[in-house]
Each structure stands twice: as C-alpha cells, then as structure tokens.
C-alpha cells in the first residue's frame, strides 16, 4: 500500500469508529442534525484533499525526502541518531502546529480564514476536517517549511501526519468519558472535553486550548483552560454573528473569510 492509501484507510477507519462511539456514548445532545452539517464538513474534506494533492503532490513527506536528498535541515547537520531525530521532529512538528493555531487566532485576517472551523454550531468528529481551503494551503506551506528546516526524517513526518489527523478527530469527537479517564488522558493528550472549550462562543475561551495532540504546549505556554464557564453538556458553541442557517452552508463557508470581522 502506498502512502495516500495508508492515510486514507486510517482516516476512514478512525472517522467511522468515532462516529459510532458518538452515537453509543454521546457527551451532549446534537446542536444540529447531522444531515445539515455532515455534507458541509465532509464536502470540505474531499475538496481540500483534492486541492492539496493537486497543489502539493508530495506534501510534507515528500518535502522530508527532498531535504534528505539535498542534505538540508537541522538533523542532517547534527550527528543525531535516527530515533532521536524522529522523536524530536515529532514533538517540534506538534509545537509548530500549536503555534500556527495561536497565530490563526491572533492575526485578524487569518482569524477570518480560520473562523469557518468555529462557525460549526455543533462539534463532533467531522468538525476536525472542517477547514477553509486557504487555511489548508497555508498550513501545508508552514508544515513543509518546518519539515525542511528541521530535516525531519520522512518516517517521522508520515507518522506525525497520521497521528495528528487521528488525534484531531478524537479531540473533536462528541463522546463521553469518565471524568477520571479524561483527567488522566489530558495530562498528555488533548481530550474532547478539553478541546470543546476552544469552540465556546466566548472569545476568551476560544482563545485557549489550542492543541490538537499533546496538551503540554497549552500548559507550558499559558493557554490551558480546565473548565468553561458553562456546563460542557450545554455550553454554547460557535461564533457570535454567524449562528444562522444562512451562514452554515458550504458556499457561505467558502466566502466567509471575505466577510466582516
């Protein structure tokens, strides 16, 4: 199996398992019917996949292979064993994604690009793939730049991409977990209850819990929030001013970055 096939198979498997878990162990009542949200979210996923494959045929893994052949990047200059270069690359790539996420919230025009992810009035496993195509292109350019600068091993980049995608779907999933399990997991990983706070309608809560995979960056860099002001079961999600069916469609979402603040 080639790399795209492996990634697609894992993506569909994780998506299916978490969608079933949401039905069996729901954390909260749905904010909207799936039939009104899933076509938009999954449609964006298909559109973005085709766009990235066309614009970046080799993507971040190809950039890692190119950097190795050109002997570019930090880990091609340092005498680090492969296992250490791979581990550090994995951690630094996750930090880079965290940093990118903070910038998307901090810079007004980038927030308008990213805002479509937050306009979702519910949060479930499909929200993890609800990103504007402009954001996907910018994210890939940033990831390629980081991969080349690090000289990250291609194997580490591939594992990171797969794990990050699965972790993003998990952190967005509308699944219930015992409080003790959630507390244990979030010492290391971003859990659904932790990340749901990031989708709060209150901007101070939206500007917290930026991580998708490791929770350490939020804790170390001062953006961790343990609990929202409203109960997690009933907290209001979304973005003020974009909470009507008129703003929820695919075309409206694609045009959203060009609307007002």
Kindly report, residue by residue over 94-115, the tens digit of the pLDDT.
999 999 999 999 999 999 999 9
pLDDT at 195: 98
> In whole numbers, what is the pLDDT of the chain averaged over residues?
93
Query: 25: how many CB neighbours lie within 10 A of its CB?
Result: 12
Kindly report, residue by residue over 108-139, the tens digit of the pLDDT.
999 999 999 999 989 999 999 999 999 999 99
Query: What are the residue ranges of helices labelled H in 151-247?
Result: 154-172, 179-185, 192-196, 203-206, 216-220
Task: Tell which residue, 255, 256, 250, has the closest CA to residue 43.
Answer: 250
For residues 191-213, give the mean pLDDT.
97
Asked if residue 28 lies in contact with residue 234, where contact means CB atoms within 8 angstroms, the answer is yes
pLDDT at 66: 95
Tokens read off for 166: 């699965």
Say how many residues make up the chain: 261
User: Could you tell me the residue ranges of all domains in the chain?
Assistant: 3-258
For residues 60-71, give the mean pLDDT.
95
Range from 31-35, 51-55, 86-90, 130-134 carrying the lowest mean pLDDT: 31-35
pLDDT at 157: 97
Share of the chain above pLDDT 90, in %: 82
Q: Is the pLDDT of residue 1 over 70?
A: no
Q: Is the pLDDT of residue 167 over 90?
A: yes
Tokens read off for 205: 């809560």
pLDDT bin (cut points 50, 70, 90) of residue 174 is very high
Tokens read off for 254: 């694609």
pLDDT at 57: 86
Q: CA 184, CA 105: separation in Å to the nearest integer?
A: 28
Q: What share of the chain is helix, strand, coil (3-state, %, to 5)?
A: 65, 0, 30
pLDDT bin (cut points 50, 70, 90) of residue 231 is very high
Tokens read off for 146: 């980081």
For residues 145-174, give the mean pLDDT.
97
């Amino acid at each position: 199996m080639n790399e795209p096939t492996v990634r697609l198979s894992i993506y569909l498997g994780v998506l299916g398992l978490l969608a079933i878990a949401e039905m069996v162990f729901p954390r909260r009542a749905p904010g909207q019917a799936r039939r009104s949200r899933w076509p938009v979210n999954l449609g964006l996923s298909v559109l973005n996949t085709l766009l990235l494959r066309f614009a970046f045929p080799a993507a971040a893994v190809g950039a890692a292979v190119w950097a190795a052949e050109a002997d570019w990047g930090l880990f091609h200059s340092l005498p680090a064993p492969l296992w250490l270069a791979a581990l550090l690359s994995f951690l630094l790539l996750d930090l880079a994604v965290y940093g990118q996420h903070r910038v998307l919230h901090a810079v007004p025009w980038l927030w308008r690009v990213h805002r479509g992810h937050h306009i979702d009035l519910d949060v479930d496993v499909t929200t993890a793939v609800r990103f504007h195509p402009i954001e996907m292109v910018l994210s890939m350019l940033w990831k390629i730049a980081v991969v080349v600068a690090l000289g990250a091993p291609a194997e580490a980049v591939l594992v990171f991409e797969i794990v990050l995608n699965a972790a993003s779907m998990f952190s967005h999933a509308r699944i219930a977990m015992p409080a003790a399990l959630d507390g244990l997991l979030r010492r290391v990983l971003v859990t659904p209850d932790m990340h749901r706070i990031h989708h709060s309608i209150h901007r101070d809560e939206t500007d917290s819990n930026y991580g998708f995979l490791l929770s350490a960056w939020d804790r170390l860099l001062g953006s961790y929030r343990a609990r929202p002001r409203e109960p997690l079961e009933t907290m209001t999600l979304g973005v003020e001013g974009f909470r009507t069916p008129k703003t929820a469609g695919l075309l409206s979402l694609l045009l959203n970055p060009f609307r007002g603040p």
